Structure 1
Amino acid sequence: MRKSFHQQRPRHHCAPQARKSDALVQFLQKTSVDPHERLRLETSGGPLSMRIFDLISPIGKGQRGLIVAPPKTGKTTFLKEICLALAANHPEVKSYCLLIEERPEEVTDFTRTVTGEVVASSSDHDTEHHIQTANKLLERVIGEVNEGKDVLILVDSLTRLARVHNRDARSGKTLSGGMDANALEVPRRFFGAARKLEEGGSLTIIATALIDTGSRMDDYIFQEFKGTGNLELVLSRKPAEMRLFPAIDISASGTRKEEKLFTEQEFEAIHKVRSYLAGLNPIDALKKLIETLPKYPTNADFLKNF
């Protein structure tokens, strides 16, 4: 297990550069295509949440996904489970967990729990360190993707990354919720870097977006990123309050062009499942999946018998 390198403070601020690095130029010149190689999260005896994730919002190599999360809906547990599942099923994918402004004890817990590399700038560091940490990681993984490698970054959270850039922004123009007009430029580029390359290699980014925090800025950040990805998994406070986990809003979650990630038979079966669940209210739909899936050893068995 690799340890976090969040302790070392950089000396110089890494502001967005006018001149792109050679690695970034090479990366941007390559051809982006739709994700079509599936990353499976279901593991034998693994958590039910990953089986539901696989069915409702499948992930492919190069996916750009948001986990939309109100407080206390289990997002941190979700991220850990994703990282562990990918390590078990896809050792060919290099995984990083990027933690920005997280509590120091949460950084320790992540480092001790997951099998990927934890890259963190905890809440006891300054804005400069947060920005440097994210920039350095992106530069590093772009180099790896250029070499044809498949890389994944789990980001907790995109909201906090945007907040720290807002503190650093200097445009002088303030938008809704106190957001500087230029603050989202770098976070957008970071999230937008996720892609599957036709020439080989992929960068998958799954990032959490915080909602219902009582902050107008957080709501603005979410609205700006909503629709920029090609996967959304929406967590819901109501099932979480009822102790229904995973607290997923099935009807609000999904993956664009998911047919490219399933076989024709799988896609037809999942379409039937979704049509059936759409006829139920969100809580009943989630309960139905939670009750039914454990009766079958795998998702494939469930789909065959639906």
Structure 2
Amino acid sequence: MYQSFAKKFSQTGEVTEINFPVVGVRGLPDAFFKEYVYFENGERGVILNLKKELAEVLLLGATGVKMGEKVAKSGEPLKIPVSISALGKIITPFGSEILGPYSKDPKVEFRSVDTAPPGLETRRPIRSPLICGIPAVDTLFPLGKGQRELVVGNRKTGKTTFLTSLLKGVAGDKTVVIYNLIASQKKEAFEIYEYAVSSHLSKFLIIASFAGESSAMVYFSPFCAMTYAEYFRDAGYDVVLVLDDMTTHAKYCREISLLARGLPGRDSYPPDIFYTHARILERAGNFSAGKKGQVSITCLPVAQTKENDFTDYIVSNLIGITDGHLLFDEDEFSKGRRPAINYSLSVTRVGRQVQNALLGDVGRRALSFLTSEYAKSQTLSYFGSELTDYVRDNLDKGEKLEDFFNQSGTVLIPCEVQVVMCAMILNGYFKGETLIKMQFFKEVFVKNYLGDGRTSKMVNNIASVKDFEHLTNALLDNKLDLLESCKKAKT
């Protein structure tokens, strides 16, 4: 490849500086930013910075180069092969297969990994909900198709478990789920793959870069994942993309910048780190697809915190870029909440506009009760026998509501069941019941809704009313049947 491009452009450069994996090349006056280049020894690279007489090149492989090595420009940006045959596999950011069923697709397309975000003329308002079957999301912090929601928290707080459950809930014939692992362990990639296969997800893709691989592989990992997301979007699919995690990506950006002797900014990160992450995440959204209607890329970047420090530079950057965030709290995790979302500090800026009026009303009431009345009542709980009936009722409803939003297993709850059961708890229908019984009631109610036509018809009719007042009346009219559906499985 070096010989053909050297002959094509009649222009070759020479390596004059080496600071692996970044090298300085002189003699390429027509080179451009992010251009793909070839070295005489077969190594490849991408131009990351251009100075007056020097091009700084990031090496893509681990071979390395020597001083004086010849370099040829390609005239093209870095591109990767994308095709429908990648579904159901683990692949590297540059398209090599790691694990998955054999398949061959002759329609392979090469796409640039770093493209400008789509303009306003192709974007459409986010109007469709992304239903995942997790009550804490669907009811309290809803997501819309095309939204960018940051998932942030300390290590070991259940973020990966939550994300894999969410992907299971949203996967379908018209939805592709992509999980991008950035500098992860191979074990983690294989565990997510096994979960996807065992959950019978037909349209999933894992794009993994591993710790110990070249810095370029990790740096371009989220760029390549977004490129794949755009490929499936253009094929008419809605895409849900997880970028796990962007704080690790930022560290590799910092390493590359410092090796290239770039100007260090806050915490030694490059000054353009906000731009780099924004350029990736802004490629997500809801878009017009002509006669196909609308298609979307929903992006869920992940960020790691230390001791829930929201003021961390990268975390605060990502909060500024995205449309909301879910904070996974170590304290809530230790108390047994699953997912361990901090209700007071989590936000969805777009999701509320995609909820129907009833679900939005129920969600607002439940969230307000948990963060206000229940929280205040908890501060009085140490009074014990001296508590008023009002405080006792709040504590009872709050415990049951928190338990309802707990979802430690992989059972997904239909939206209609979420609305009805949440409203039943708020109206005190389960007063005096234990939390163990509440878990049983929830499981039985879901089974009856999915397996019994009479129950599903009743629940759907109740959930179709327009507001909470009408919902309360509908619950009262069907109280005995609803309680029976919660307590007794129907064959």
Please confirm whether the aligned pair reaches a TM-score higher than 0.5, indicating the same fold. yes
Question: Equivalent residue for 2:234?
Answer: 146
Does residue 231 (structure 1) correspond to residue 324 (structure 2)? The answer is yes
SS in 2 for 1:153: strand
1:219 matches 2:303? no
Q: Which whole-Å CA distance do the structure 2 matches of 1:51 and 1:134 have between them?
A: 29
1:201 aligns with 2:295: yes
1:191 is aligned to 2:281: yes
Residue in structure 2 matched with residue 47 of structure 1 by the alignment: none
Taking structure 2 as the reference length, the TM-score comes to: 0.53
* Corresponding residue of 2:150: 66
Displacement of 1:183 after TM fit? 3.2
CA distance in structure 2 between the partners assigned to 1:9 and 1:21 by the alignment: 13
Between structures 1 and 2, the one with greater strand share: 2
1:112 corresponds to 2:194: yes
TM-score normalised by length of structure 1: 0.82
Runs of 4+ in 1 over 6 A off after TM superposition: 7-10, 213-216, 282-286
SS at match of 2:303: strand
Secondary structure of the residue that 2:89 maps to in structure 1? coil
Q: Distance in 2 between matches of 1:101 and 1:292?
A: 35
**Conserved 8 A contact 1:155-1:205:** yes
Query: Which structure would you say has the larger RCO, counting Cα contacts within 8 Å and 6 or more residues apart?
Result: 1
Question: Higher Cα Rg: structure 1 or 2?
Answer: 2
Corresponding residue to 1:102 among 176, 179, 184: 184
**AA matched with 1:161:** H
| Amino acid across the alignment from 1:150 | D
Displacement of 1:304: 4.0
Distance 2:93 2:349 in 1: 38
Name the CA shift for 1:282/1:85 in 2 (closer, same or farther; >3 Å): farther
Matched to 1:301, the amino acid is V
Unaligned runs of 5+ in 1: 11-19, 43-49
Q: Give the equivalent residue in structure 1 for 2:401.
A: 289
| Partner-residue secondary structure (3-state), 1:206 | strand
Instruction: Specify the alignment match of 2:243 in structure 1.
Output: 155
Structure 1 residues 6, 213: CA separation in 2 closer, same or farther (over 3 Å shift)? Answer: farther
User: Percent same amino acid among aligned pairs?
Assistant: 20
CA contact (8 A) 1:293 1:299 kept: no
Give the whole-Å Cα distance in 1 for the aligned partners of 2:122 and 2:344: 32
Q: Deviations over 1:259-284 (max 9, x none)?
A: 32111122122221122112133996
Structure 1 residue 171 displacement after superposition: 6.6
Give the alignment of 1:2-13 within 5 angstroms: 2-6=88-92
Query: 1:150-170: per-residue Cα shift (whole Å, max 9, x none)?
Result: 111111111112222222224
Deviation track 1:173-218 (CA, whole Å, cap 9, x = no partner) reads 22222212123432221122221114422111011111116999x9
Gapped regions of structure 2 (runs ≥ 5):
1-86, 97-110, 379-394, 407-412, 427-491
Tell me how far 1:7 sits from its aligned partner: 8.9
Show CA shifts across 1:117-147 (max 9, x none).
1110011312111123332222232233234
Aligned to 1:270: 363
In 2, Cα distance between equivalents of 1:158 and 1:7: 15
Amino acid at match of 1:203: I
Match of 1:302 among 412, 421, 435: 421
| Closer, same or farther: CA 94–197 of 1 in aligned 2, 3 Å | same
